[in-house]
Amino acid sequence: MGGEREVTTLPKIKDGDSGAEEAEREQLAADLQHLRALLEADRVAEARRFVKELEQRWPEAERVQHYARVLAPPKVRMRPDLPARSSEREWKWLEEHGREYPGCWLAIHEDQLIAADPDRHAVMARAEQALGEETYLLFHQPKSDPAK
């Protein structure tokens, strides 16, 4: 995404490989291309469904395993060393202002934007510099859909 093209390398065909094995490799390449097209079009929910199908069809394919890990829904972890607090103010800010930052990662603390950038690592570094150990909401605002 972001103008970069990924090249998928498939296993080389050996002299003894059958036409069926070559056809399977071509189908895998086509499936991976379709998955990338979904992601480039910001159709993440559809890509998540499609990668589950690919995991069934191609359980040994490293690229499929990679995309399955990347597209897995996020896991929330609680830090018992930090007191729990409501994130209601952060979500309210997102509802009101999130669309102003298409394609950006946002760090929000209470009702304030701490950092916004397409680079998640840059946002996290700025938020940690500004807030230290204080908790904040890290959110990726999808790009606007021009068809809507």
pLDDT in tens, 64-88: 999 999 899 887 777 787 777 788 9
120 vs 85, 107, 127, 128, 146, CA distance in Å? 23, 9, 11, 12, 24
pTM of structure = 0.47
pLDDT (0 to 100) of residue 74? 80
Could you report the per-residue pLDDT of 1-42, keeping only the tens digit for each?
Answer: 445 555 455 555 455 567 888 888 899 999 999 999 999 998
Which position has the higher pLDDT, 144 or 53? Answer: 53
What are the residues whose beta carbons fall under 8 Å from the beta carbon of 114, sequence distance 6 or more?
107, 108, 126, 127, 130, 131, 136
DSSP 97-127: HGGGSTT-EEEEETTEEEEEES-HHHHHHHH
